[in-house]
Structure formats: C-alpha cells, structure tokens
Amino acid sequence: MTVAHQTVTSFIDGAFVPARGEPLAIVNPADESIAGTLHEADEAEVAAAVDGAARAFRSGPWPRMVMAERRKVFQRIIEAVRDNMDELAALETAATGQPIHYSRFIQLPRIIANFEFYAEWPAYALETATSERGRSLRYVLREPLGPVALISPSNAPTALASTKVAAALAFGNTCVVKTSENTPMALARFVQLLHEAGVPEGVVNMVNGRGQVTGDALVRHPAIKAVSFTGGTATARHIAAAAGQGLKRVDLELGGKSANIVMPSADLDKALDAALIAVFTNSGQQCFAGSRLVLHRSIAEDFLGRFAERADAIRVGHPYEEGVENGPLAHANSYRRVERMIAEAREDGCAVLAGGRRADGFDKGYYYRPTVLRAPSNDVRICQEEVFGPVAAAIVVDSLDEAIAVANGSRYGLVSYVWTNDLREAMRAAESIEAGWVHVNTPMLALDPRFPFGGYKESGVGRDGAPAARSFFTEEKTVNYAM
Ligand code: NAD
C-alpha cells in the first residue's frame, strides 16, 4: 500500500484544525521523497489543544465513566486499529523507513496489545481497605490526574504513544500527544481512529512540530499535570527542567547502551541468533539495542567471526522489498550521526569486522550496512555513546566480574542480556547489573505492560508498565472514616 502525500495538522476537540503553522517537510527515508507536510503548532495552537483536554477533563464524560464503560470504547478502538492496520503500517513505514512487515506485524500490533491489557487491568488491580479494630476504616481513592502530555520518539512513534494513551485513558485522564516532527503520520491517523471509535472530543488531542517549539510549549503549559516522555537523554534534561518549574510529574524513558554478555557455558548458537536480533532489529534504532557485545575471551574469536559473517549477510533494502531485513535509517541526521561515530571509532582504534559503510545500490535514502567493531576497551566513544543505528561494538573480557564491570561502566542502564548456563553466574549477573531489565538466555522481547519497564542512571526516571502507570496517572487519596 503506497501512501498519498499527507497534510498533518493539530487534532483538537475531535478534529484536525486547518493548516496554519509553519510547514515542515516529512521526508521518506527510503528515497528522500516528500511523504507529507506538517504544519507546526505554535504556542497558541498548543494552548488550544491543552484547553481542549482541560475542558474534557473538567466537564466531559471520560473522567466520570466507570471502567466497564471505558472498556467498551477500548474494544471499539481495538477493532478500529485492526480494521485499519494496513493503512497505519503504510503511514508508519513512509515516515520511519522500517520494513513494512515490521510495522505491520511487529510494531503496530502492540497498539492492540496495549488497549487489550488496559481494558482489563484497572478493574482487577483491586485495593484493600484496612479496618482499625472496628473503630475506623481506611482506604485509598484514586482519581484521574488531569490533562497530561504524552511524548513519543521517532523509532516507534505510534506504538509507544499508544502505551501512554492506553494507560492515561484507562485511569480517566485526558491528554495531548506529540511525536517526532519527522514521523507524525500514523499517530495522527491513530488519534483520529480513537475518536471514530467513540473517545469523546477533547480527550485525546495531538500537536505536531519541533521539540524546542511545540514540545516545549506543551511541557510548559500550566494546565498540564504530568509529562510522560520517551526519547533521548539530552531531550529529557530540557523536559525535566521545564516540568520542574511547574512542579509536574515526569516519567522519562530514555536511551541506552545495553550490554550483551556471552559466557562460555552458554548455548552459543542461540546466543548468536539473539545477539543479532538485539542489535540490528529496526536498523539498531531501538532503545534496548544490545549494542555492546561483551564476550568471554575463550569464545570471543569464534563468536565474533560468526557474528560478523551473519551481519554481512543481513539484507538491507527498500522497506517494501520482499525479504528485506533492515530498511534505511529514519532521518538524514541519524545517517550522518552513524557516519561520524564510525569515523570516531576508527580513530579510537576499533577494528571494523563488518559494514562500516553505506549500503550498496542506493543513490538516495539513508541506508547503512550492519556494522561490527572490535573495540580496544569499553572506554572508547563508540562504547559510551548511544549510536541509534546498526552498530555493534565487541569488548573481550576474562571473567564474569569483568563482564559485569563493563556492563555497568556506562552512564546508561536500560537493559542487559546475559547468556550462560551456569545458574550461579546468571543470578549474580542479574543482581549486579545496573539496568531496568535483565534478559537471561532470552532474546529481546517486546515491552510487556504487566511489568515495569524503565532505566537506571541516565536511561530514565520512573517506569512504564501497569504498576507504575497506576500511580503516575492518578492522584491517590487516603480516606480515614471513623465509625
Ligand atoms: P528525541 O529525544 O530527539 O525526541 C523525542 C520526542 O521529544 C520527539 O517527539 C521530540 O519532538 C520531542 N522533543 C524534543 N525536544 C523537546 C523539548 N525541548 N520539549 C518537549 N519535547 C521535545 O528522540 P528521538 O530521536 O525521537 O528518539 C530516539 C531516542 O529515544 C533514543 O535515545 C532512544 O534510545 C530513545 N528511546 C527510548 C525508549 C525507552 O523506552 N527507554 C524507547 C524508544 C526510544
């Protein structure tokens, strides 16, 4: 399914507003054609969107509904997304460049999983009241928080926004969503679908534009009670500072430089398959990419040789081509960043075992070969900075303790992967690694809303996932009732 040129404007009070703001081109990274035009929301337009959300919160039906009523709407949303999946996938691929099968069958079905989960979970997460020997009764009331800002990144604009929208709505909030100015098209259609499925007007609004213009105005707006953000660590510093001024809650899900430790007792074939998936899926544009391979010396040569060979065999191509595993990088800036970081890695003494160059056969588009580097130590720039591209850097170690030290030798702490069949090693690694999610003998998994997901250190503040989302998206009020 190809996509006609899209015009993306803000969605306020149940409808797209007329095109007014500064036009910005949405570039298709597969061939650098113009996939659409975004009209940037300025401060006044952001204020109109927040006013819509505030009105819907103050006097609309959504915050007042019981869960059974909201669940009916969630079920209609699931049907609408299912019925329009091909269109959503085509829109997502036209802006992100990710292979169409990946959009259609891996990333966007997460919208459905999120709404299925949040349609049920709040009803089952029951609180218990405490009676003080018949003299008093104490219990907790949870009230929706208010209009919230939900900001998603360019690598999974719609799926990650849906995690936040489903959670915010399940607890009765209203919201204004925003994603990257480069990738707004599928999210805009999804927001429209929410309303076609019965979400009342003003409950979900969308603004579009650059972070420092539209995003900043959204975060600073005084009626916004909380900001749930997924994106880069540098951006999060601005958001946290702006939200701090307004004493707003923040949930920050940020970047990573995750270690993938392989020990000698591991099933090396499985570890190899999983390591390739962990770092090269979506051309490495994943927060939880296992971008540092930490290999025990006794298996390093063989493992790395096979890993580089397999990386060389990955098919890079147009997102619609049959059999393509990796599409282009999402943006010209991402491509330039990868080129710069590979040049720095060479300067720092890294050996290039695979890739390290543009993919052959493309005059246009941001195609880069999966790249494997052997790093002289964990201190070089390629091992310390997030690439957000198809680049794995290998570090050789002599013991589990050294592997753990390397894994923790990072300002990030999002995810880690450990491959070992020694139970004691596995448990020690899981306890010692500073990361929000440790996978033992497990390939990269999609986020599971039943569990907390988030980062240590500069990978985040707070957690996505149901247990934390309940506190984040509600005011908790303890009631003490004397009998
Ligand atoms: P980014 O930080 O550039 O942008 C993310 C979003 O923030 C966009 O919608 C952008 O417009 C907005 N934004 C930028 N400046 C802003 C400001 N001053 N105020 C308000 N909003 C602003 O990130 P990106 O390039 O879109 O995404 C890649 C990053 O996201 C990587 O670092 C990746 O690791 C991270 N990420 C993290 C997770 C996670 O769950 N931890 C998941 C996916 C991606």
Q: To test the ligand 1 pocket, which listed residue (227, 233, 287, 366) has its Cβ within 8 A of the most ligand atoms?
A: 287
- For residue 453, give the DSSP letter: B
pLDDT of amino acid 380? 98
**Predicted pLDDT of residue 384:** 98
Is 127 a residue of the active site? no
Residue whose entry in the numeric block shows the structure tokens 């076609």 = 196
Q: 154: CA distance to ligand 1 center in Å? A: 7
CA–CA separation, 155 vs 45, rounded Å? 26
What's the gap in Å between 158 CA and the centre of ligand 1?
Answer: 13
| Ligand 1 atom, smallest distance to 154 CA | 26
Q: How far is the CA of 361 from the centre of ligand 1 (A)?
A: 31
Of the candidates 23, 44, 45, the residue with the CA atom closest to the CA atom of residue 34: 23
For 367, residues 6+ apart whose C-beta sits below 8 A from its C-beta are 316, 317, 327, 328, 329, 358, 359
Structural domains in the chain, sorted by start: 6-254+459-479 (3.40.605.10), 259-440 (3.40.309.10)
Residue nearest to atom 8 of ligand 1 (CA): 180
Q: What distance in Å separates the CA atoms of residue 189 and residue 87, rounded to the nearest whole number?
A: 9
For the CA of 453, the closest atom of ligand 1 is 40
> What is the Cα–Cα distance from 460 to 236, expressed in whole angstroms?
9
**Pocket of ligand 1 from Cβ distances under 6 Å:** 151, 153-156, 160, 178-181, 211-212, 215-216, 219, 230-232, 235, 238-239, 253-256, 287, 386, 388, 414, 455, 460
Region of 429 (left: φ > 0; alpha: ψ -120 to 50; beta: rest) is alpha
Residue nearest atom 40 of ligand 1, based on CA coordinates: 253
Cα–ligand 1 centroid distance for 161 (angstroms): 11
Q: What is the pLDDT of residue 445?
A: 85
Q: Per the confidence metrics, is the pTM higher than 0.90?
A: yes
Low-confidence ranges of the chain (pLDDT < 50): none
Residue 134: CB atoms within 10 A of its CB come to 7
284: left (phi over 0), alpha (psi -120 to 50) or beta: left
3-state secondary structure of 58: helix
What pLDDT, on a 0 to 100 scale, did the predictor assign at position 123?
76
Annotated catalytic residue within 92, 181, 253, 434: 253
CB 278 within 8 A of CB 443: yes
User: Which of 110, 148, 228, 235 is the pocket-test mutation for ligand 1 (most atoms within 8 Å of CB)?
Assistant: 235
Compute the distance from residue 166 Cα to the ligand 1 centre, in Å.
19
Model ipTM value: 0.98
How high is the pLDDT of residue 1?
66
Decide: helix, strand or coil at residue 352: strand
